Amino acid sequence: MTGQRSALLLSGSIGKGHDQLAESCADSLRAQGWATSTLDAMRMLGKRGGSTGEKVFRSMLAVPGLFDAFHYAGLRTGGRLALTVDAGARRVLVPRLRDYLDRRPADLVISVFATGAAAASALAGQYPSMRHMVFCTDATPHRMWVHPNVDLYLVTAEVAELAVMRFRPDAKVQVVPPPVRPAFYRAPSQPKARAELRIPAAERCVLLMSGAWGLGPLAAAARALGDAGINVLAVAGNNARLARKLADVAARQPRVRPFGYTDRVPDLMAAADLVITSSGDTCTEARTIGRPLLLLDVVQGHGRDNLQHELELGDAMVSSASAADLTRCTLAALDRIKPAPTGPVRTRASWETAFLAALAMIGC
């Protein structure tokens, strides 16, 4: 390859996890001199297709057990309904992705969203010099992640490697450390973060959040934790209704500090003794900064797989989402915590060393 190498990241705007993973990969590629661009597979499906997909996903999560059923009986195994949905999305996405690649050829495509992986796989044979990598941070990638014409799969757990090989036993799979955005590798010490946020050094403090959607009864939990004498940094994400509820709670309980969608999460984590969150990329961020986890069991399907994996990794507890249960588990977790480290406990170098080795494996 001559000149500046170019990479295309295929993400998907369901929550923020895929976008953040794409951002982490793109940042590392740019540091090596690559030009990068990112496409949102959900938006490429069109306004109706993308918004409908998110509404369906949200609606399924709102019904207890419904997404569990679809995930375990459909997505994980590749059931007929899941394959039909995947094929329909691929028919729309493939020609649009082809048009983009014809205009802006890429040396490397990294799919961090299952629908993007399906489209890139279908097109890979038309661009012989293009390499295709699929990156999934789920503990158990489901059937829609696995396709032909993938040069390398990146996963973050050995069990995930076996899940990929269930469907393609000859797949090349590499286990790598999960990356986070650069700000988390530079998070301040706890005393500095608390001083900036005006949190008393000797008092207990937790960060309470549940992804960009703010899943679960977080407002009630924040109020109960504040009433128990705990400082609560409560993040609503993109959930405007939750943001209003948290503001109401804070007006009555001064120990609760509400935030909407914020780029200050590294500082909030650094200030906290404990991170209370649902399973997902927030867990990796908290582990990077060196904070223990209390996990909310509120994400069905792949969320339950990821939760179990986080518990296996250690330094984590799990709670039901009710305010009483969460308060009881929080107090127990705070009684067990060790002093906060002086800074982040994971380095960007550990991720980038593994990532660059993976790129070399496929000739990039």
Within its chain, how far is the Cα of 78 from the centroid?
22
267, 291 Cβ separation under 8 angstroms: no
Question: CA 332 to CA 329: how far, in whole Å?
Answer: 5
Q: How far apart are CA 131 and CA 127, in angstroms?
A: 9
CA 133, chain centre distance (Å): 18
Provide the residue type at 60 as one letter: M
Q: For each of the domains in the chain, give its residue range(s) and CATH number, in order of start.
A: 6-179+348-361 (3.40.50.2000), 182-336 (3.40.50.2000)
Distance CA 269, CA 175 (A): 26
The pTM of the full predicted model, rounded to 2 decimals, is: 0.92
Radius of gyration of the chain from its Cα atoms, rounded to whole angstroms: 21
Tell me the pLDDT of the chain (364 aa) as tens digits.
457 999 999 999 776 789 999 999 999 999 999 999 999 998 998 866 555 666 777 777 778 888 888 889 889 999 888 889 889 889 999 999 999 999 999 999 999 999 999 999 999 999 999 999 999 999 999 999 999 999 999 999 999 999 999 999 999 999 999 999 999 999 999 999 999 999 999 999 999 999 877 888 999 999 999 999 999 999 999 899 999 999 999 999 999 999 999 999 999 999 999 999 999 899 999 999 999 999 999 988 999 999 999 999 999 999 998 999 999 999 999 999 999 999 999 999 999 999 999 999 999 9
